[in-house]
Amino acid sequence: MAGYLAKASTNLLRKNISTYTALLRFSSSDTKQYENIIVEKRAENGCVGLIQLNRPKALNSLCDALMREVNEALDTFEQDESVGCVVLTGNERAFAAGADIKEMQNNTFVGCLKGNFLGHWSEIAQKKKPIIAAVNGFALGGGCELAMMCDIIYAGDNAQFGQPEILLGTIPGAGGTQRLPKFVGKSLAMEMVLTGNRFDAQTALTAGLVSKVVSKELLVDEAIKTAEKISKNSQLVVALAKEAVNIAYETTLAEGLHFEKKLFHATFATEDRKEGMTAFVEKRKANFTNN
């Protein structure tokens, strides 16, 4: 009994420490100040990058400057070896209510073409480090598309997903017609894109758009905990794993399996693969060095 209690209290302590480390903030001098986003490092040793979209008065609508800042912050985290995973979030009312309609209202076709309007958005899906979208409130239009460019989506219980572009006389332009059918199937994707209807977190979970629904207050902490867990793995191997999963959306099964096998073989060239298997055999925790 005493042994059981000691184990239970150790487990409780561990759980509290893990919750505590998920909430740890690092001084803002570690990260750059931006106009439209707030960037911090969280969790143990600042291993999780946190980007919060911060245009609350406009429901975090995605103006050009904001998207450029998100890209810049992600690139900074890509270069920062202490960061293994990034969480992207908004506030409790809105993840993002779409591209900034006021900014694009007077655009012309020629203007879009000449400036490759919103072309740089897709760079977000090319990052090597995993990104978890923590979505509370509205994720509409470009907001839903931005979440889908991330690798994992967690939803707060108040989340609403939608592609309302049709109501503005346009269509999704950053993956809504392409990623959505792959994630939720044709019928729901078609309904979202053709009606502009919004769907709640539970529907998103059932459809496979999100992997977890959490109460809105706990959402970001939950995403940070998962990000911290990912960060403790080998960054090198995590990047290969991310690339392998993403290839499933780009290619045939045969080609994807071939690609996966090559990346699997490639892990045998890393110190971290050697360390991971040696640690298992020696019954100890692996100490990955990203080599």
| Catalytic sites, residue numbers | 99, 142, 145, 165
Nearer to ligand HXC, 139 or 238 (CB): 139
Q: Please identify, using beta-carbon distances, which residue of 12 and 171 lies nearer to ligand HXC.
A: 171
Q: Which residues bind ligand HXC (CB under 6 A)?
A: 58-59, 61, 97-102, 118, 121, 138, 140-142, 145, 164-165, 168, 172-174
Q: How buried is residue 142: exposed, middle or buried, by Cβ count under 10 Å (0-12/13-18/19+)?
A: buried
In the complex with ligand HXC, the residue whose CB is nearer, 39 or 99, is: 99
Greatest Cα-to-Cα distance within the chain, rounded to the nearest angstrom: 76
| Closest to ligand HXC by CB, 174 or 223 | 174
- Distance between CA atoms of residues 96 and 82, nearest Å: 28
- Residue 66, classified by CB atoms within 10 Å of its CB into exposed (0-12), middle (13-18) or buried (19+), is buried
Residue in this structure with the two tokens 């990955």, named with its chain if needed: 288
Provide the minimum distance between the beta carbon of 107 and ligand HXC in the complex, in angstroms, as a whole number. Answer: 11
CA pseudo-torsion sign 121, 126, 128, 132: positive
Who contacts 20 (Cβ-Cβ below 8 Å, separation ≥6)?
none
Closer CB to ligand HXC, 67 or 237, in the complex:
67
Closest contact distance (angstroms) between CB of 114 and ligand HXC is 16
| CA neighbor of 37 nearest in space, from 70, 63, 1, 78 | 70
Q: How far is the CB of 247 from ligand HXC (least distance, A)?
A: 24
CB of 170 vs ligand HXC, minimal distance in Å: 7
Of 3 and 169, CB closest to ligand HXC: 169
CB of 142 to ligand HXC, least distance (A): 3
DSSP string, 152-205: EEEEETT-EEE-GGGGGT----SSTTTHHHHHH-HHHHHHHHHH--EEEHHHHH
Among 249, 236, 231, 261, which residue's Cα sits nearest to residue 43? 231
Query: How many residues in the chain?
Result: 291
Whole-number minimum distance, CB 256 to ligand HXC, in Å? 27
d(CA 96, CA 15): 32
237 dihedral zone (left: phi>0; alpha: psi -120 to 50; beta): alpha
Alpha helices (H) along the chain: 2-23, 64-79, 101-104, 109-115, 142-149, 179-184, 186-195, 201-207, 219-231, 235-247, 253-267, 271-281
